[in-house]
């Protein structure tokens, strides 16, 4: 079963703050300009000193705060009418302090491994209910059995800069993308590729956001 959020915490692993046990509900939020912008319920798969692995299952409903300033507008998924995660779910692998996650995707009726998605984002920050971050739009995708990776959303990233979403951070975000590309070009793999065969616990129900998820201070 998915365990509800516990009031106890303890010393943090991968990223500081409270730690989570396998099966715990972990609320992943995006925070923009010190304001909660988006949230989704995930399940802790592993929380060790070197790795925080979170699973976003199919059917998990997204949360969008009802009120706020939203200087860059509402979250794109809210604007686009996306209300829940679809497909086979995705696994998100985070290392402490790193400005990206390595996301694992599956596809098709056999749930075949689809590829690695290098999602540029703020390093995750622990909260009493989960983790906070902010997606940086710019990403890299390495499809299963492909010879190499491709860049994703380059033009959209430029558009987000024009919208003022990442003031003063454009160079740092691009540098992180270039760093990942250089590592991949050098044949380095800083994540365990056996995650491609990972299977979720069939006993896990689809988690839900807890009441007040958007009022916990970032």
Q: Over the chain, what HEC string results?
A: CCECCCCCCCCCCCCCCCCCCCCEEEEEEEEECCEEEEEEEEEEEEEECCEEEEEECCCCECECCCCCCCCCCCCHHHHCCCCECCCCCEEEEECCCCCEEEEEEEECCCCEEEEEEEEEECCCEECCCEEEECEEEEEEEEECCCCCCEEECHHHHHHHHHCCCCCCCHHHHHHHHHHHHHHHHCCCCCCCHHHHHCCCCCCCCCCCCCCCCCCCCC
Q: Catalytic annotation on 152? A: yes
Select which of 33, 152, 169, 174 is catalytic.
152
Catalytic positions: 152
């Amino acid at each position: 079963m998915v365990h509800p959020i516990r009031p106890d915490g303890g010393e943090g692993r991968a990223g500081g703050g409270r730690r989570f046990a396998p099966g715990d509900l972990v609320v992943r939020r995006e925070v923009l300009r010190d304001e909660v912008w988006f949230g989704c319920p995930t399940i802790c798969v592993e929380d060790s000193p070197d790795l925080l692995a979170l699973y976003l299952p199919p059917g998990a409903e997204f949360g969008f705060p009802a009120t706020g300033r939203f200087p860059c507008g509402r979250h794109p998924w809210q604007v686009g009418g996306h209300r829940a995660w679809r497909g086979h779910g995705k696994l998100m692998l985070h290392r402490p302090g790193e400005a990206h996650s390595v996301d694992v995707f599956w596809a098709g009726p056999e749930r075949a491994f689809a590829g690695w998605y290098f999602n540029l984002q703020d390093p995750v920050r622990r909260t009493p209910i989960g983790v906070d971050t902010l997606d940086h739009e710019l990403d890299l995708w390495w499809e299963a059995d492909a010879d190499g990776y491709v860049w994703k959303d380059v033009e959209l990233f430029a558009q987000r800069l024009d919208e003022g979403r990442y003031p003063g951070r454009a160079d740092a975000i691009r540098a992180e993308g270039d760093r990942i590309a250089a590592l991949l070009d050098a044949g380095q793999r800083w994540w365990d590729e056996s995650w491609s065969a990972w299977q979720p616990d069939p006993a896990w129900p689809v988690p839900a956001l807890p009441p007040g998820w958007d009022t916990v201070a970032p």
